[in-house]
Amino acid sequence: MNAGARLALYGLGLVVAFGGAFGLADAVIPTSVVSDWTKGTEMNNHDDGHDSGATSVNGSTSATADNLKGLALGLNGYVLSPVEAPAGIGEPGELSFQIQDASGTPVTEYTTAHDKDLHLIVARSDGSQFRHVHPVLDVSTGTWSLPWEWAAAGSYRVFADFTPAGADASGLTLTRTVQVAGEFAPVAPQPTQVDQVGGFTVSLDGDLVAGSASELMLTITRDGEPVTALEPYLGAFGHLVALRDGDLAYLHVHAEGEEPRAGEISGPEIAFAAEAPTAGRYMLYLDFQVNGQVHTAEFVLDATHGDGATGPDGESHEDGH
């Protein structure tokens, strides 16, 4: 079955909320705080301080399926153009695209969020080959681009995460599918809560429960010693992207609260409050920076069914297991 067919089969009426907070050292966090995080990062679309249309349910927040990010190429009048990129693997080239408004005009003015006007996430449909990068805008043409080469064949999803200019603009995550020719060797994501990257060991503690907030704690060590020199990267001590296995629904979780001050460091723990929209498998990607270098640790976590609580639209009942 191809990615398009899989997408089409995916259920409606899901409820999403995926919260986050950064740089908290304490492992015990009051529920009220978790609710606040969930509420804040419900707007994980970068529109800090604007109402995203989320509704409050029992003191926490939930979003309707309309608020699920990264499942459409157009929203609120904005469209992600077709993505130009090398057709096959091992061909150095460029990846480029435009964001167009309702009249088809390329958008050249954005609201900076987390140090950038646009965040680009690329992942293969099986969750592998993840990249979080920042293309450059040619304001004369409205084209975003960066040097690009594919390392593996397959069906990819490109996510553009941005906020248009304007006081009322809210953040958007638009997505396109890009096919890369070549022999395709899919990877089946298996649950994993420890990753080794760049000499660091990153472990994830906590559980995901559909429909309710729970804590995820990421701990970074090196040679068995806690790493306490996490540096701010894009205005936070860590960035967490979660993609839902099956449709790659996109959850970009940024820092809550105060941005780190210049020169401030943190570690070894980064705390997130997370609420999965549904039971099932999620791929999680943590970007963190030490000594000026950014590393990405990857995890796979299965969200369990909640205790019967469902959102206002109800959850899917068949989990297909």
Query: Which spans of this chain sit near Cu ion (rule: CB under 5 A)?
Result: 119
Q: Measured from the CB of residue 256, what is the shortest distance to Cu ion in angstroms?
A: 17
Q: Measured from the CB of residue 71, what is the shortest distance to Cu ion in angstroms?
A: 19
By beta-carbon proximity to Cu ion, the closer residue of 119 and 244 is 119
By beta-carbon proximity to Cu ion, the closer residue of 272 and 315 is 272
Q: Measured from the CB of residue 89, what is the shortest distance to Cu ion in angstroms?
A: 24
Token duo for residue 151: 């390392």
Contact status, residue 256 vs residue 272, Cβ threshold 8 Å: no
Backbone angles phi, psi at 208, to 5 degrees: -100, 130
By beta-carbon proximity to Cu ion, the closer residue of 153 and 283 is 283
By beta-carbon proximity to Cu ion, the closer residue of 106 and 135 is 135
Token duo for residue 162: 């941005």
Q: How far apart are CA 250 and CA 285, in angstroms?
A: 11
Q: Measured from the CB of residue 240, what is the shortest distance to Cu ion in angstroms?
A: 12
Contact status, residue 179 vs residue 156, Cβ threshold 8 Å: yes
- Between the alpha carbon of residue 145 and those of residues 34, 52, 111, 181, the distances in Å are 38, 29, 18, 21
Q: How far apart are CA 219 and CA 85, in angstroms?
A: 36
Helices (H), the chain: 3-9, 31-42
Q: Measured from the CB of residue 113, what is the shortest distance to Cu ion in angstroms?
A: 9
Q: How far apart are CA 60 and CA 292, in angstroms?
A: 37
By beta-carbon proximity to Cu ion, the closer residue of 119 and 124 is 119
Q: Measured from the CB of residue 115, what is the shortest distance to Cu ion in angstroms?
A: 8
Gyration radius of the chain over CA positions: 19
Backbone angles phi, psi at 42, to 5 degrees: -50, -35
Q: Measured from the CB of residue 132, what is the shortest distance to Cu ion in angstroms?
A: 5
By beta-carbon proximity to Cu ion, the closer residue of 119 and 281 is 119
By beta-carbon proximity to Cu ion, the closer residue of 69 and 119 is 119
DSSP-assigned states of every residue in 29-56: --HHHHHHHHHHHHTTTS-TTS----EE
By beta-carbon proximity to Cu ion, the closer residue of 119 and 157 is 119
By beta-carbon proximity to Cu ion, the closer residue of 118 and 210 is 118
SS3 119: strand
Q: Measured from the CB of residue 290, what is the shortest distance to Cu ion in angstroms?
A: 18
Task: Output the residue with the shortest Cβ distance to Cu ion.
Answer: 119
Q: Measured from the CB of residue 239, what is the shortest distance to Cu ion in angstroms?
A: 7
- Please, what's the b/e burial string for 2-14 (b: 16 or more CB within 10 A of its CB; e: otherwise)? ebeeeeeeeeeeb
Q: Kindly state the greatest CA–CA separation across the chain.
A: 56
